Structure 1
């Protein structure tokens, strides 16, 4: 049964955005832009392109963002930016490069330590010390939309949630206009976090990040490094299906759709989806929820109209 029949009220007015990462090969590039084409049918509010620590994917990020922005009727595209492994001057130069391409929305992140998630972070000599400083560097250059990260289950390096919220407030004080959360699977964690954010006087939109589970083992490994928790109920639903791709995809579709619908019932209207550069599972989830869409074979001008 279609979820549009089950949940006619909750699906109205939902907005979606997508995260992509730069491709590493011609084959991956073709897959990415096919995914972008398919998911553009859902009229995303915006899409984002990630950026590696220390600019390790700088060239690919610039190329990908440029192609997305120059497409006819392009979806608004935000560029991720980090301050790991680079001086202030080098980061400022990258900001200028993105602005020259037409970027007006940045995702300002500290970035993972060079040694990877879980290793100690030390500010780069002569670099911006954290995401709050990076937000300030962006907003001093003009009027931009600046999204930042938020962590419903606490950043793995933070001593507690209060420290995370204090950092979020510093980012907002420096000009951040939206927070996009790390993915999570228990909406109660998000709601408790949002209550604490609002109690701290932070009023910017806090958009929940949803990760449809293409591969349970990979997601569990990644979640462990990020400080996110995969509930036992989800493991029970998916763990025995990893060798049965079609059944796994169907159950994963229902899990993500249920999460989005529950968020909608709690009053959330904006959802940020970590696409992993693949459209089938994301499309299945959004269709099940009942997101409006247009024919993906229309031109981008039609999509953006």
Structure 2
């Protein structure tokens, strides 16, 4: 089955997990310990990110290939427009196919110097993600995912432009979408409803990012321009010197958010692991437990 068929035919929501390709031998050992723990959960898929400007290209291909051949999991390999000619993109897509990877998550991507740096298209490349969606779809039997932005892409001038660009990706052949980081459920619901009103009905999977380290998560939120809840920030700041308490606060908030998203009809959850599985697994277990016992565990913490 294609990933879209899997996502649309399941009676239960999908559960997936995101990893980045490690740079060192120690990092490789860590990510494989994490992958084996995640494999025991039988996820719908696991995704492998792609460094800015293709900085992790070979490592992304290698990790996705190893997941495809050495585990029972379905790998989804990211691929970005930025910094690549069309010829280079064709070559990378061919590498994915040769590695047995048939699921690609397409993004325009951030410039190598950072998400706020000026966007400069490659002179022989693409400008928009929908162009890469079309290329991937035209090169074989691939399932294609795209990014969705619950708070609008930082470079979008308004919501009309944001939705128009998203619909362009759907029309180019996107099978599903995974959101960027966000912390307010209403932002996801507004995006979903706007997309549906525009006639696009691909599954939009919300990404769940546990805020267990306030300094780290603030940095990520600033880079992506995600609104970080003031009350959550205050509680994490107060627990800065108590890691166990900060961990519990972050996991509880993410769990409540995940439960509400599913209750509101989200097709699944995509857990950001940062290559370590403890928080993602705790959230996953709590969500599954609450689904088996609907009256248990739901809180109103996620706003």
TM-score normalised to structure 1 length: 0.89
- Aligned counterpart for 2:247 among listed residues 241, 246, 249: 249
Cα distance in 1 for partners of 2:94, 2:105 equals 15
The alpha carbon displacement at 1:186 in A equals 0.5
Summarize deviations over 1:213-243 as a string: whole Å, max 9, x none: 2311211122122121111121122221121
Partner residue, 2:299? none
Partner residue, 1:69? 68
Q: What's the secondary structure of 1:19's corresponding residue?
A: strand
Q: Is the 8 A contact 1:257 1:288 kept in 2?
A: yes
- Aligned counterpart for 1:94 among listed residues 79, 92, 110: 92
Summarize deviations over 1:21-57 as a string: whole Å, max 9, x none: 0001010111101111111222111011011122211
Q: Is the 8 A contact 1:49 1:64 kept in 2?
A: yes
Partner residue, 1:7? none
- Counting only pairs closer than 5 Å after superposition, residues 3-22 of structure 1 correspond to structure 2 as 13-22=12-21
Partner residue, 1:47? 46
Q: Is the 8 A contact 1:154 1:227 kept in 2?
A: no
Cα distance in 2 for partners of 1:178, 1:267 equals 15
Summarize deviations over 1:98-122 as a string: whole Å, max 9, x none: 1111111000011101321111101
* Residues 270, 113 of structure 1: alpha-carbon distance in 2 compared, 3 angstrom cutoff: same
Partner residue, 2:199? 201
- Counting only pairs closer than 5 Å after superposition, residues 227-238 of structure 1 correspond to structure 2 as 227-238=225-236
Note the residue ranges of structure 2 that are not aligned, 5 or more in a row. 1-10, 291-303
Cα distance in 2 for partners of 1:55, 1:61 equals 9
Q: Is the 8 A contact 2:212 2:251 kept in 1?
A: no
Q: Is the 8 A contact 1:53 1:83 kept in 2?
A: no
The alpha carbon displacement at 1:155 in A equals 0.7
Cα distance in 1 for partners of 2:45, 2:226 equals 25
Segments of 4+ moved more than 2 angstroms: 12-15
- Aligned counterpart for 1:264 among listed residues 252, 262, 265: 262
Cα distance in 2 for partners of 1:183, 1:115 equals 20
Q: Is the 8 A contact 2:213 2:247 kept in 1?
A: no
TM-score normalised to structure 2 length: 0.89
Cα distance in 1 for partners of 2:212, 2:204 equals 25
Give the alignment's Cα RMSD to 1 decimal.
1.4
Q: What's the secondary structure of 1:120's corresponding residue?
A: coil
Aligned length: 280
Q: Is the 8 A contact 1:42 1:291 kept in 2?
A: no
Cα distance in 2 for partners of 1:59, 1:143 equals 22
- Aligned counterpart for 2:275 among listed residues 274, 277, 281: 277
- Aligned counterpart for 1:149 among listed residues 147, 150, 153: 147
The alpha carbon displacement at 1:291 in A equals 5.7
Q: Is the 8 A contact 1:14 1:291 kept in 2?
A: no
Partner residue, 2:121? 123
- Aligned counterpart for 2:287 among listed residues 284, 289, 292: 289
Cα distance in 1 for partners of 2:245, 2:120 equals 44
The alpha carbon displacement at 1:193 in A equals 1.2
Cα distance in 2 for partners of 1:112, 1:291 equals 37
Moved more, 20-29 or 55-64: 55-64
Cα distance in 1 for partners of 2:195, 2:13 equals 22
Partner residue, 2:223? 225
The alpha carbon displacement at 1:143 in A equals 2.4
Cα distance in 1 for partners of 2:113, 2:211 equals 26
